[in-house]
Amino acid sequence: MTRVNDGSQSSTSTYSDATVRRTLYCDCGVLSPLRTSWTEENLGRRFYGCGQYQGRVRRCGFFKWHDPPVNTRKNLMISGLLSQIEVLKKKEMFLIRCLGLCVIVIVLLIIVIGIMVIKA
């Protein structure tokens, strides 16, 4: 379990997308960016983490939630929308491949017709 900071390191407030966005510094003294969680339990929930976070390694372990917990309905909706996006991406790739094959067939038909015209 990560240590939760009580927010006493908050220095100023700015407004972003009509919501209060605090400026926090992690225990490393680096600006702590506002990030978005994509875990199953906290889909779309924003949090502040160590400013030197890389991959899964947090230098100082700083962590603080920005948003309240996401309710189950919102989690299900976000999860469903992400699934729909994946399905649409797969369909898009399929259509792009089909279009590529159609172009190849059309080019081959033009070549064959050209050859037939020249021989006639």
Residue scoring higher pLDDT (110 or 55): 110
Q: Residue 69: its pLDDT value, please?
A: 84
Q: Which two tokens stand for residue 73?
A: 């309905």
User: What pLDDT shows up at residue 43?
Assistant: 84
Distances 27 to 37, 47, 60, 67, 118 between C-alpha atoms, Å: 21, 15, 6, 21, 78
User: What phi and psi, each to the nearest 5 degrees, are found at residue 108?
Assistant: -65, -40
Model confidence pLDDT, tens digit, residues 16-54: 443 566 788 888 888 888 989 888 888 888 999 888 876
pTM (two decimals): 0.50
How does pLDDT run across 45-61, given as a tens digit for each residue?
A: 899 988 887 666 657 88
- How many residues in total does the chain contain? 120
